[in-house]
Structure 1
Amino acid sequence: MLLPPFARIKRMIGIVCMLAVAAAMTPAPTNAQDDAKNEVYPLAVFPFQERGRDVSELGNQVTDLLFASLVVNPDLYLVEREDLAKLIDEQQLNVSGMVNPASATKVGQLTGAKILVAGSVLEVNDKLYLVAKVIGTETSRVFGASVKGNVGDDLDILAEQLGEQVGKTIIERASELVAEVVSREDRIAKLKKQMGDGQRPTVYISVDERHVGQATIDPAAETEVSLFCRELGFKVIDSQSGSKADADVLIVGEGFSEFATRHGNLQSVKARLELKAVHRETGEVIAIDRDVAIGVDLTEQIAGKTALQEAAADIATRLLPQLVETKSKGKRNKNGKKKN
C-alpha cells in the first residue's frame, strides 16, 4: 500500500534517526586502540655469510641493506647492531653456528629477540643468490626466503626484495614463529607441578631498578619475583621492613629499562634484568640468570614496567626450581658442605 507523501517523509526521517542513534552508540575505534592491537616483533639480524669467489665483502653489505629495509617496517623492532656485536663478543659465539634452532633460544634470551634472521650470499654460475633463514627463538621453527640476480646487479634492489619477503614471512607465519603468551597463572601452575612438595627456603628479594631518563615508579621486577615466590609457597621477607638474617636465600640483582623506538602511537622499551640467588650463611652462589625483554605500550613508563615484569617472570621460571632442589639436598654448613 502506497503511503501518502507526508507519511513517507515522516517514515524516512524516523529511519534516518534510528540509524543515527545506532551509529552514535557504536564506539568508533581510536587510533590508539588500533595501535594497541598491533603486534610488534623483536627481531635480530645476524651477519650474512659469503659463499663464492666473487662475493667477498658482500655479506656485510647485504646485512646492512637488509637491516635498513627491515627497520622501517612498523611491525618489527630490530635489536641494535651494536648490541648484537657486543653479545657475540661477550659470549664468544660463532655466528655461523649460533643461528640454528638449537641455539636460538639462548640468543633470544640474551637479546630479547623473538625472531632471528641470518643467511648467506651465494655466487653460482654468475648468478647471485641472497638466502635468508627466519628462525623463531621460542618455537625453533625455521622458514626461508630468497631472491636471485646476476653478479654485479644492484644490491640495494635485491636486499630490498629480500626484506619484503622476510617481512611478509614473519607476518604470515607469526603464529608459528612466536609462541603464544603464557599467562602468569599458567606459568605458576606448571611450576607447582614441576617443583612438587620440595621444601621451599625462606627468601629475601632485593632488585635495584631504574628507567633511563625517568624516575622509577615502583619495583616491577622485584614485585614480580616476589609474587611468583609467594604463589609457589616460598616465605618472602619484605626488603623494606624485613631482615636478611631471617632468610635462607638472598635473591639480588639489578634491572634497567630504556626507550627503544616508537611505532605510531606505541612506544617500545627494552629491559635488561640480572638476578642471582645466594645462600645467606655460606655466600655460595646457587644460580645466576639474566634476561632481556621488549615491552610495547602507549606510554614509555608502562612499556618499561611490562618489559621488566616479563624478564622477571622468565627468570623466575628458570631460577626458582633450583632453590627447591638446593633445599631438598640438605642444609649446608658455614664451609659450604652439606650436613648429614
Structure 2
Amino acid sequence: MPYIAVIGAGSWGTTLASLLSKKGFDVIIWAREKEVADAVNYKKENPVYLPEIKLPESLIATNDILEAIKKARFIVNAVPTQHIRVVFSALQNKLNSEHIVVSASKGIEKETLKTPSMILEEILNKKVYVLSGPTFALEVAQEKPTAVTISGIEKKERLLLQEIFSTPYFRVYEHDDPLGAEIGGAVKNVIAIAAGICDALELGNNARAALITRGLHEIMRLGKKMGANERTFSGLSGLGDLFLTCTSNLSRNYTVGYRLGKGESMEEISKSMRGVAEGVETSLSLMQLSKKLDIEMPITAEVYQVIYKGKSPKQAALDLMNRTLKPEFY
C-alpha cells in the first residue's frame, strides 16, 4: 500500500486524508498550525476546520512538510490557492520521477493568474493531476454519496488515481482536461458569491436560475479562450460544482455573498470566517484575466465591484439586468 501525503489540513484536506486513511493507505497530513496537528494526532479530530468528525486512528499529522513527504509516493495538494506557492516552495527539487501529485484546490493565483496545477508544475517540475467536482467536505466526511472527477494527461495514472480515491460513497470519474476542471472550480466560487447576494436580496428563484445559467456561460467563455474542452463544463467539475456551490449555505462563497447582500462589509465577514472563501480573491484574479484575454464576464465584474469597490449589491443586480441587449449564444 503506497504512502500518501496530504498537504493542507483545512476541511477538504482533512476529509481527503480521512477517506484515504480509512481505505487502508498510510496517510500523513501536513498542517500549518501546531494545534491542528496535535488534535489530529492525540484526539483524532480537527476541531478547527472539521469539528465533530472522528478521524481514523491510523491518520497522523505533522507540521514538518519535509517529514510529510519522506515516504510518500502520492502527494495531494489541499492548500488554499493563494498560499500554494509559499507552501510548496519548500518541496522544490525534493521530488523524483516516481512521485505523483494531485491538486484538490480551486482558484486562480493573483498576479500570475495561474491555476493551482500550473503553480505546482512550475515549482515541482512535474505534471499534476486535478481532483475536482461538487463536494462539500462535511458531507464527504459524513460518507454521504458524492461524485467527482480526476483529470490529467496520462490515462494510466488517471486510472490508478481513480482506484485510489474511489470508495462506496465517493465515486470518481476520469477525463483528460485538467485545465477545464480547474477553470470550472475557480469561476464557480465567484458565481456562488453572486448567488448568495441574489438570495439575500430576495430576487427569487427565476433570478437565481438565470444567474447560474449565465454564470456557466462565463465559465465556458473563459475556458474556451484558454484552450479547455467545452464538454468539460457540462460535467461534474463544471455544471455540477457550479450548481452545488450556488444553492447551499454550506458553501462559504455563497455565505459571503448572502452576508454582503444583507449589508455586511467584506471586512466584517472576513474577520468572522475561519475557512477560506476562495471566490473573494479569485474575483480579483478573474477580473485581471478577463481584461488580459479580452473576455466579457459581467457577473464576475459585478462581484468584484461589490467586494473591492464597495458597490451596492442592489445596484450591481440592477446593472446586470440593464446591460445592452444581446443574443443568448455568441
Q: What TM-score do the two structures reach when normalised by structure 1?
A: 0.22
| Larger relative strand fraction | 1
| Larger relative helix fraction | 2
Q: What TM-score do the two structures reach when normalised by structure 2?
A: 0.22
